[in-house]
Amino acid sequence: MPAGVSLMCGIGGQLAWGAGIETGVLARLSEAMRERGPDDEGFLLAGRAGVQVAAGPESLPAIKASLPPLAALSAADACLGLVHRRLSIIDISEGGHQPMMAGAGRYWLVFNGEIYNYRELRRELEAAGGVFRSQSDTEVLLAALVRWGEAVLPRLNGMFAFAFYDREAGTLLLARDRIGIKPLYYAETAGGLVFASSIRALLASGCVPAAIDFDGLWHNLSFGVAPRPRTCFRGVVALRPGHTLRIDLATGRRQENEFWFPHFTPDRSLANPAAASEVLHEAITSSVRRQLVADVEVATFMSGGVDSTTVSAIASRHHAGIRAFTLGFGAGLPHMDEVAEARATAAMNPMQHVVCEVSAHDYVSDIEKMVLAAEEPNPTLPPNYVISRLVAEHGAKVVLNGLGGDELFYGYGYYQRIRQWRQLRWLRPVLPLLAAASPRPGWAHWLRAMQASSPVQFFAYAHQRMGERDKQALLQRPDGTVSSLDVLGFTYARPELAELSPLQMLSYLDLMHYLGNHHLNRVDQFCMAFSIEGRVPLLDNEVIDLALRMPDEAKLRHGVGKYPLRQVAARYIHPSCLDMKKKGFGLPAAQWLREEWRDLADDALDLLASQGWVTKGAVPLLRERHYVQLVTLGLWLKAFGFSRS
């Protein structure tokens, strides 16, 4: 199989409607994304005088020898500046250097990601007369955009965020992959617009002041993430998954378009469990094989749950000796530790199992780094940071994970509970009383969810971490603030949703909100913090499209979620993984913050009180209900230097 140039990177740029580009902005964008691409960097300036390209301090030696430094370029009349940082995974030569050019300098591309079906697209382009200089997926993407424009985007199987400049048309096209594996943010400035792969890069550019978007923070406190395109930073917008943003550089006019939407089209032939699991097995195997290709070491994240153990086991059958990393917490935390189940599966497959037992002491010095890498408030301590650091310390550069199984195949508990919601409608008038009287917080939470008036509101209740009253006691927002229970409905509303079943509606919201905005965001942020490429085999186009064609009864069968995926898993993993009660991937945040990190936690809570974020009367109640979330909020405010005064 011929090798291609695979790149996990950071991209960014500045647009000016008339004031000119500042090379200092581009340099700061690049430096802020260094961890995303320590292997190479490149710059472009475009304006009336034409296109100029430059090397950076960390460009490859051959690039430095052939291009001037950024400071030597004339930026006075430039309307566009592009930045690229490169993390080389396949082929570390200068053949993958970006910005990449086509059409005698008319077209330029900076690209973050990987196109898994680039070979098929290349063959089609070659049949039409295309000629290629390298084995690069970047070059194929560039040629495909030149030939087919935005029409090629639904055909791209991979993860990507890119900026495509057409000099003759005077336009810049920003795009993000259909499920949101790779991030892209932008913000308006006084004289134009700035964009980047991370929020911190936008802040570091000097064009975007660090200020809180209180509506974004309000909803973040409920869901752990602000529903996109909103973020917790004023003026910073997330380009939505499956969307493009086309910008006219002369006028600043912008047009956002959607190129992909998860259409549920049940295929009755897949209602048969055996047929569904067999087709799914083929799709997952193909995806894992595609995503094992690299010129550096590929490893896996492996908890004891079904999804990551299945991905790891299949990977080991095609890449014998692959290292699978598992976090352990020792005998003192049996409710979180999944080492025994992971070990049992590792013993069945040709993999090297690396168990890393972690403690609070190991990461106390990393707290600020965790918070800064997360960028927005995280309702708990991020385990992705911990396991990414461990993988990096062991020298792996690519890691597969099991994200996507729960959202695509109805794996979360609320997929089963929504049936109870439908059955208990006649009890709705008394549910508030039952919830108030319940001595168990978990039961009270679900009894409140049962009060929902629609599947969308049920989903919002299921994900709600902090209620409206508690948020009001914390932030003291003025009357008229939109309830977070309602915001998901109008953020993700569209006419087609009226045809969805309640189960399909939950899956749609999981894909558009919880998976794309929360889980995938965390994987990208923390893998990139250690210059690691994170790959997601269960979110391959083929697997997603198959899941959307499976009827509800194929995915949730006899009260068992992820039924076809569990059938596939049974071929590879230990029965204890299938029988284990779902624990979730996390750290013992409450214990560490109340014990080993008590002083740090108290300082964070004192900051909330001293700066007036929390009224004195609300402190004891909020502290009892939302201890970890309040501590992490205080840590975020401190890390980014926010003050209420």
Q: Which CATH number does the domain housing residue 546 bear?
A: 3.40.50.620
Judgement on whether residues 185 and 328 belong to the same structural domain of the protein: no
pLDDT in tens, 311-341: 999 999 999 999 999 998 876 677 778 899 9
Helix pair angle (339-346, 306-318), 10° resolution: 20
At 5 the pLDDT is 47
The single residue listed with the structure tokens 């890119």 is: 162
Output the CA torsion sign for 459, 460, 461, 466. Answer: positive
349 in a domain, yes or no? yes
In a domain, 533, yes or no: yes
Question: pLDDT of 564-606, one tens digit each?
Answer: 999 999 999 999 999 988 766 778 888 899 999 999 999 999 8
Q: Which of 293, 343, 376 is nearest to 580 (CA)?
A: 343
Quick check: is 99 in a domain?
yes
pLDDT tens for each residue of 50-61: 999 999 999 999
Q: What is the pLDDT of residue 435?
A: 61
Q: What is the CATH number of the domain that holds 27?
A: 3.60.20.10
In order of 134, 362, 391, 448, the CA distances from 438 in angstroms are 65, 38, 43, 11
Q: How far apart are CA 408 and CA 509, in angstroms?
A: 11
pLDDT surpassing 90 at residue 278 = yes
Same domain, 185 and 292: no
Tens-place pLDDT, residues 172-197: 999 999 999 999 999 999 889 999 99
C-beta of residue 526 within 8 angstroms of C-beta of residue 388: yes
Q: Band of the pLDDT at 493, cuts 50, 70, 90?
A: confident
Do residue 557 and residue 617 come from a single domain?
no
Q: Residue 555 — φ and ψ, nearest 5°?
A: -90, -35
- Residues 421-446: what's their mean pLDDT? 65
User: How sure is the predictor about 447, in pLDDT bands with cuts at 50, 70 and 90?
Assistant: confident
Rounded to whole angstroms, the Cα distance separating 398 from 531 reads: 9
pLDDT at 612: 84
For residues 189 and 66, state if they share a domain. yes
Alpha carbons 257 and 429: distance in angstroms, whole number:
43
Is the model's pLDDT at 3 over the cut of 50? no
Residue 149 has pLDDT above 90, yes or no: yes
- Looking at 562, 579, 596, the residue that finishes a domain is 579
Does residue 420 lie in a domain region?
A: no
CA distance 217 to 22: 31
If one compares 95 and 225, the residue with the highest pLDDT of the two is 225
What does the pLDDT read at residue 375? 96
Any idea what the Cα angle at residue 123 is, between residues 120 and 129, rounded to 5°? 150
| Widest pairwise Cα distance in the chain | 75
- Is 634 a member of any domain? yes
Note whether 560 and 627 are same-domain residues.
no
User: Lowest mean pLDDT: which of 94-98, 252-256, 268-272?
Assistant: 94-98
pLDDT band at 615 (very low <50, low <70, confident <90, very high): confident
- Three-state SS for 608? helix
- Please give the helix or strand (H or E) that residue 576 lies within, else none: helix 575-579
The verdict on residue 98 lying in a domain is yes
Tokens representing 521 are 């965001």
Q: Say yes or no to pLDDT of 607 above 70.
A: yes
Torsion of CA 158, 163, 164, 165, to 10 degrees: -170
Q: What is the mean pLDDT of the chain?
A: 90
Q: Quick one: which of 376, 49, 406, 346 has its CA closest to 225? A: 376
Residues 65-78, mean pLDDT to the nearest whole number = 91
Are residues 300 and 181 part of one domain? no
- Most confident of the ranges 141-145, 448-452, 609-613: 141-145
| pLDDT tens-digit series, residues 386-400 | 999 999 999 999 999
Over residues 69-94, mean pLDDT: 85
- Decide: helix, strand or coil at residue 10: strand
Alpha helices in 424-483 (DSSP H): 431-437, 441-449, 455-463, 468-475
Stretch 625-637: mean pLDDT, rounded? Answer: 93
Q: Is residue 482 part of a domain?
A: no
Q: What torsion, rounded to 10 degrees, do the Cα atoms 605, 610, 611, 613 define? A: 50
- Among 178, 203, 207, residue whose Cα is nearest residue 190: 207
Q: 383 and 305 in one domain?
A: yes
Residues 169 and 298 placed together within one structural domain of the fold: no
pLDDT per residue over 82-99, tens digit each?
Answer: 999 998 765 566 777 899
**Which of the listed residues 541, 558, 579 is the one where a domain comes to its end?**
579
Please report, rounded to a whole number, the percentage of residues in the chain having pLDDT higher than 90.
Answer: 71
pLDDT at 10 over 70: yes
Q: What is the total count of domains within the chain?
A: 3
Mean pLDDT over 465-469 rounds to: 89
pLDDT digits (tens, 9 = 90+) for 354-389: 999 888 888 888 999 999 999 999 998 888 999 999
Instruction: For residues 200 and 309, state if they share a domain.
Output: no
574 with 592, same domain: the answer is no
Identity (one letter) of the amino acid at 94? E
Concatenating the DSSP letter of every residue in 148-208 gives HGGGGGGG--EEEEEEEEETTTTEEEEEE-TT-SS--EEEEETTEEEEESSHHHHHHTTSS
Give me the DSSP letters along 305-335. Answer: SHHHHHHHHHHHHHSTTEEEEEEE--TT-TT
Q: How confident is the model at residue 233 (pLDDT cuts 50, 70, 90)?
A: very high
Evaluate if residue 480 carries a pLDDT over 70: no
What is the pairing mode between strands 50-55 and 40-47? antiparallel
Q: Mean pLDDT: which of 278-287, 520-529, 618-627 is highest?
A: 278-287
Please state the pTM of the whole predicted model.
0.94
Query: Does the pLDDT value for residue 426 go beyond 80?
Result: no
Class of residue 595 by CB neighbours under 10 A (exposed 0-12, middle 13-18, buried 19+): exposed
Lowest pLDDT segment from 26-40, 355-369, 546-560: 355-369
* Residue 554 maps to a domain: yes
In this prediction, residue 439 has a pLDDT band, given cuts at 50, 70 and 90, of low
What is the extent of the structural domain holding 637?
588-645
| 567 shares its domain with 642 | no
Q: What is the mean pLDDT of residues 188-212?
A: 96
Together in a domain, 188 and 91: yes
Q: Which residue has the tokens 């460009």?
A: 59
Q: How far apart are CA 76 and CA 284, in angstroms?
A: 51
Residue keyed to tokens 């909330």: 608
